[in-house]
Amino acid sequence: MADGWAASARTCFPSPLAACLSGRQGLLALLRKLKSNPDKELRILLLGLDNSGKTTMLKYLASEDISHITPTQGFNIKSVQSAGFKLNVWDIGGQRKIRPYWKNYFDNTDLLIYVIDSSDKNRLEETGEELRELLEEEKLAGVPVMVALTGEGVQDGIEWVIKSCNSKGKKK
């Protein structure tokens, strides 16, 4: 997974959405739009299934070595100073047994980044269900959500996200 995120973060994608999701610059542009006070510390919550690339993304944002990543048991927190922003990034484990505890981290969240391993085709339905549940959470109402795609099938993942979002809107 480390190689997939690093490669994605350095690659220029054909889609504006993919470019937005590809690394620190896209994240900082989004944060500038969110907050008019750049001195405020922003709390970012990284969620997604296990092995989706959350910890790799966290370490990448913190400019740390991403060559050795171990599964998160519980959570990791990093404070990152970048382009005048202080980011307090929370990486919460994505194992099935940990997911019920995600709600304990929703308070005071300024941005939710949901990470999807687009190369894990067998789990797209599962990750979509988890994302739908998060989007329905009252505590996250009004919190911007950024979907970050990792893995080799990023373009396929973008198409899946767009299709899923469109189909959800049609059900109502």
Catalytic residues: 95
Q: How far apart are CA 79 and CA 48, in angstroms?
A: 20
> What residue numbers does the annotated binding site for Mg(2+) cover?
55, 72
**14: pLDDT strictly greater than 90:** no
pLDDT at residue 130, as a whole number: 95
Percent of all residues in the chain with a pLDDT value above 90, rounded to a whole number: 33
Please tell me the pTM assigned to this model: 0.73
SS3 category, 20: helix
The two three-digit tokens of residue 159, written as one number = 């198409």
Distance CA 96, CA 32 (A): 33
The mean pLDDT of the chain is 76
